[in-house]
Structure 1
């Protein structure tokens, strides 16, 4: 049954309104607002009079890092801003504490730790609640890990409602590669009060993104769109108020509850929305069983292979990697499984003599930088599980809980708190039951108890347990019976570690493959297997075809088209790796070791030109084609940096000059305080072998010109994120031309386009970090 809900109106843009009232380029709106409270209150009042039910306080950048040089405390700025909004509010208006991104990338893509991000958000949240905010809004977010830190900081330190919105690009991803499905799923699982989109795009471009989000959450949806896309040539936005409101009418088939405006919108836009009196279509739907990373959401409604090899039990290679603290080797094991077909990776680091909690956190962090498949946290220690869940970027599986009361009491609260999925083992205080009916009853008890903790049944995966047939031959049939009962009666996803079935018997792979096929037919969703064994993956691919899961046998054909009957794929465990492969996978130490080996027979320049640069080019092309995303691009660049470091060390030992491909100056222009994009460009250019002079953000024209001339820098890169600072970019370009310094100029940023670059006589427009590297190659030959 579908119900209609009246849409609550949010306000529109604050920054552009303040600029009209005297905010200067580079000045923090929050500090300006503190000194000009009457102006801020008047803007809030205009939105309230236009019909806004919720107004966002002028606190977007009021975090300790942004305010560091202002001399103001977070508490003072936020208290003042909330009071200004309250003055404009009527009896029904709610005032939101508005919190934007911190302005720095979190580890591993940047230097900000998860704990530091959490503390920054915590300080703002507590200040806002103390000042009298009615709700908390995190908006314009792009990094899912930062979103998680923000939500946890709010939930753990406040009782206020929480809204969260991210900013997406036309490819339906944030600039860090996060997809709408993963964001919606995380927000749903962490129990925020509303979720949605804001900024970056106009309503038309946001519609398919919001539709994707709606499939993964029952939360009320928020749309706070831009007034179309900005025109850097005229410093205006594309849409008028009536066009904006008409475009938003197309969203009413979705569960939209909150609509407002972002960049380029004014009180007139909110007044137009008020006149339309829109409603959203509210319908509760079943959210599929899912696990996710920022870039990938995997539904567990069909057969999904969980790789078992990141586990020291019976695995000498993994055991040695843990003892040696060789995270790159563990990552290599992970990648081999993914290449063989694993869609989820089980991660178990329990080994006598090591700190399991610390090692689990380190392994999870490292794997998240290099692979995009979801992870299954495999431990029985609640402290280990919680530490891993807290820093896991996405929605994980926890392996496991069992039917013992103590186990459920310790593990299930963690599952609910962090929004994870959980594997329930069909054993209890009496051990593993011999017959299927008793195992089924344990499974039912685990599910019922999980639901009492508000964990939906789609998040409970039942493991019916595999016992070795060499010792308990009848147990195999009981396991299959339990699978069938769980699937038919409980209708939840099922998990099974397959390989234990054959322990102690010859030709184990034959038994494993046969049992896997039988288990899949009995209702197994998620076999935990070694995907490097070709026979096991062949069974999975065949089953998908025969049960109609692989439509038109497309995946089967793609995998086996080149293989003749009688031939077997031998798997790819511990295949040889080249330096370009190591760079693409982001394996720093592997890249360093391979470079060191190459230096025994190749010159440094040959290695740079013949190996490192082509490898980075390949990664860049994958990034451009959306086969890789920003984290993988940065990881590949960092891996190549390890090779450059090795080359530099050898040259220094030989008393030679360090290799550099050329000198590049980077700066965010005067008045613009945004530099995340510039910082990414810096990382990529440095790892292509260029010497980068980074002048930072809000850089005066004369400093840029002086540095370019004194350092004799041939390529200048200028960045601007705000339309209001484009004038400073043009002024900088004119000054560089006027001083007759022989250089090329590339420009980039969210508001910059090729047309604008042509207008201001820049030599190049760099749309992203990869483009800047291509431009550098052209300039330096």
Structure 2
């Protein structure tokens, strides 16, 4: 099936997807610890029967039994070598069963591992795994590919890029939202939609999550954020165990009622996830049978994204500025520090610029003689760990650009490409592949044109070539080229007319490096500010400036006020009032006492500086125990508080925990001298038959950072192993994790067995575990997430002693 054919179908009807494959296979006898994909070889008739029941129920699309079919995921079962066979057979079974009655979607789910900053899987490894799986499904002849249950925007990026390397058919992508509005890694629905759209999908959506009620808000946001079709596959609520059977609470009729709501909100593709069977799909078909897709008038917008924030560049909102300070050109100290391997200065500049008002951070690592791709990769990681705004990757080196693009967490800006054919041939494919917007410079093989009209012609070339590469006009920002007025008094006039022509003739957004205008002159700030004011009046969208400059800040505020971008002068009055605008970030004024710096380093996950700060404090005779109890532990408690209030998500928690771990490693030898003991011993394990351990590993990191001795027994662990280790280690608390519904009952059995043999308190958690279930099986505590697990352990320890 071609993408235009798929688009045409969605114009005329609401597509009905099938329900859960995993739930059906479990009912068919899949034992704990066995990969569902094994049924493609061992019990193909069972898989075919599940497909047949969904088709008979009215599904227009059935998904292959390959949700966990990547080599990385299959490796958890020791089956990575069978990846191609499992995916090929799954597609063959589905295609034969469908026999033209339904479309067949190749299903791809998450790998079960996280990329940095949460985990250790590198982008290239993830991309290759998804590339291979998509290749197997493509060669087997699937009609479309459906990506499901992605919770990390970086893994989703790797997945979609890997798929598009081998598959040019219809592609649907979903993320799963843990609290009804954010993924567990912090991405909101608008950002998810923007990133997916940039990565060339045909429909965006939400699946799994909790239940239909909780994701209604996600659907609303996505429907207003993108013109692409919306796909929705909710769970039938959260599972419980009743009489030894796994049960999902939502009835087919309840799910169908929500499906109608989703369709009214603009969803074009509707199915079911965990707990949804043929009866749910039949109810959907009946409820949606007479409905047509609801038209949505969503105009294309120019957007850039970080992991958890989308900025829209338009003519009505306050001007968005790009911070220019992460650039070693002409800054010997900056360059020298980077070449020694220290990126503290990069982190500090990113943080200060955002605090000074920059909403995009430009990253340039061009140092002669140095490995620019390696520096760019490291710089992007550091900047993203420090601030939550989109990045602009500034380099003429395509290897450096690609290195940075692989580390990006959202939708970035590439700075830049010229109109030279060789440059266009190398940079445009990168922008398309990695879902990036692009700054275009009207420079040809002959150099910089002298007239606005000649620059317009080159701008037209860039826009045309970008369109041919599949990059929309909304993602192109043309630079009018700011040249020094000291060299040519007419240069500013040419630049200003150029950006006006770009807007009027090409309808694109514009960008300028403002500071270039004053090169070689005294009192540059005043010149820059005056030029910025005029340029904004001419329609400049993205100025690249020094955000610390008071003159620049005044120019921005006054220009926005006078150009109608500040209704009722609210921003102007808030920022200025009766006072002059102060210097935004004098480094000396930002210096805090060392103890405050250490607290902030842990709170904000600043691994670059935390070790040095601890060492400095120890040299000043600070008491190690007090540093731990009065700074490190309170900082982590603050992290937990922010997590509970949805100000922090997994990336921030993990980075803070890593900073804490690094600080504690320096303190530990000194604490041993003082005779400090751990608060208690905690054993962690994933229950028998369950091979998932991401959440458990995160819990272990946080618990250890709160002063406990942690013994991690890994995954697929029996009760006997846990009991034996608990006795030998005199464990105080045992933490059990289960991700799969099939292992919920195993958890019940193991809790009873462990309680009969040891006095250790038992805390349980995992994606399918609820507090009610924990109470039913006799656990002493329940951790909804890593932060809550720490609190529960602290509480049961208090009760125990």
Aligned residue among 739, 750, 756 for 1:721: 739
How do 1:166-315 and structure 2 match up within 5 A? 166-231=175-240, 235-276=246-287, 277=289, 278-283=291-296, 285-301=298-314, 302=317, 303-315=319-331
How do 1:626-645 and structure 2 match up within 5 A? 626-645=646-665
Aligned residue among 749, 754, 775 for 2:771: 754
Aligned residue among 687, 692, 697 for 2:710: 692
Aligned residue among 723, 726, 743 for 1:705: 723
Return closer, same or farther for 1:70/1:444 CA change in 2, 3 Å cut-off: closer
Contact 1:251/1:280 (<8 A) preserved:
no
Return closer, same or farther for 1:141/1:566 CA change in 2, 3 Å cut-off: closer
Any idea what the Cα deviations from partners look like across 1:212-249, whole Å, max 9, x if unmatched?
A: 22333333221111123334678422221122112111
Give the Cα separation in 1 of the matches to 2:710 and 2:604: 25
Any idea what the Cα deviations from partners look like across 1:717-740, whole Å, max 9, x if unmatched?
A: 222223442222233332333224
Contact 1:321/1:330 (<8 A) preserved:
no
2:517 counterpart of 1:501: yes
Give the Cα separation in 1 of the matches to 2:779 and 2:586: 49
- What is the Cα deviation at residue 33 of structure 1? 4.6
Contact 2:117/2:654 (<8 A) preserved:
no
How do 1:337-376 and structure 2 match up within 5 A? 337-376=353-392
2:786 counterpart of 1:769: yes
- What is the Cα deviation at residue 36 of structure 1? 2.1
Give the Cα separation in 1 of the matches to 2:731 and 2:558: 60
With 310-319 and 607-616 compared, the bigger mean Cα shift is at 310-319
Return closer, same or farther for 1:723/1:412 CA change in 2, 3 Å cut-off: closer
Give the Cα separation in 2 of the matches to 1:532 and 1:495: 19
Give the Cα separation in 2 of the matches to 1:642 and 1:404: 47
Give the Cα separation in 1 of the matches to 2:572 and 2:640: 30
Query: Which residue of structure 2 lines up, in the alignment, with residue 608 of structure 1?
Result: 628
Equivalent residue of 1:140, what SS?
strand
Query: Which residue of structure 2 lines up, in the alignment, with residue 618 of structure 1?
Result: 638
Any idea what the Cα deviations from partners look like across 1:474-508, whole Å, max 9, x if unmatched?
A: 32233223333333333321111111222222222
Equivalent residue of 2:646, what SS?
coil
Aligned residue among 731, 735, 741 for 2:749: 731
- What is the Cα deviation at residue 338 of structure 1? 1.1
Return closer, same or farther for 1:659/1:466 CA change in 2, 3 Å cut-off: farther
With 103-112 and 530-539 compared, the bigger mean Cα shift is at 530-539
Equivalent residue of 1:540, what SS?
helix
- What is the Cα deviation at residue 315 of structure 1? 2.3
2:568 counterpart of 1:568: no
- What is the Cα deviation at residue 13 of structure 1? 1.0
Give the Cα separation in 2 of the matches to 1:570 and 1:95: 57
Give the Cα separation in 1 of the matches to 2:307 and 2:519: 37
Return closer, same or farther for 1:66/1:380 CA change in 2, 3 Å cut-off: closer
Contact 1:534/1:571 (<8 A) preserved:
no
Contact 2:219/2:267 (<8 A) preserved:
no
Aligned CA RMSD, in angstroms, stands at 2.5
Which ranges in structure 2 are unaligned for 5 or more consecutive residues? 1-7
Query: Which residue of structure 1 lines up, in the alignment, with residue 29 of structure 2?
Result: 22
Return closer, same or farther for 1:466/1:83 CA change in 2, 3 Å cut-off: closer
How do 1:311-460 and structure 2 match up within 5 A? 311-460=327-476
Aligned residue among 611, 617, 620 for 1:598: 617
Any idea what the Cα deviations from partners look like across 1:505-543, whole Å, max 9, x if unmatched?
A: 222222222222222222111111111223322332343
Return closer, same or farther for 1:550/1:156 CA change in 2, 3 Å cut-off: same
Any idea what the Cα deviations from partners look like across 1:682-708, whole Å, max 9, x if unmatched?
A: 222223332211122222222222222
Equivalent residue of 1:281, what SS?
coil
What TM-score, normalized by structure 1, do the two folds share? 0.94
Contact 1:589/1:642 (<8 A) preserved:
no
- What is the Cα deviation at residue 96 of structure 1? 2.4
Contact 1:422/1:460 (<8 A) preserved:
yes
With 121-130 and 40-49 compared, the bigger mean Cα shift is at 121-130
Aligned residue among 675, 684, 692 for 2:693: 675
Contact 2:240/2:248 (<8 A) preserved:
yes
Give the Cα separation in 2 of the matches to 1:567 and 1:410: 43
Give the Cα separation in 1 of the matches to 2:569 and 2:705: 42
Aligned residue among 16, 33, 56 for 1:49: 56
Aligned residue among 578, 583, 587 for 2:606: 587
Give the Cα separation in 1 of the matches to 2:776 and 2:340: 57
Give the Cα separation in 1 of the matches to 2:645 and 2:757: 39
Any idea what the Cα deviations from partners look like across 1:352-379, whole Å, max 9, x if unmatched?
A: 1101122212222332333221111111
- What is the Cα deviation at residue 93 of structure 1? 2.1
Give the Cα separation in 2 of the matches to 1:566 and 1:251: 51
- What is the Cα deviation at residue 664 of structure 1? 1.3
Contact 1:9/1:52 (<8 A) preserved:
yes
Return closer, same or farther for 1:449/1:569 CA change in 2, 3 Å cut-off: same
- What is the Cα deviation at residue 651 of structure 1? 5.6
With 640-649 and 754-763 compared, the bigger mean Cα shift is at 754-763
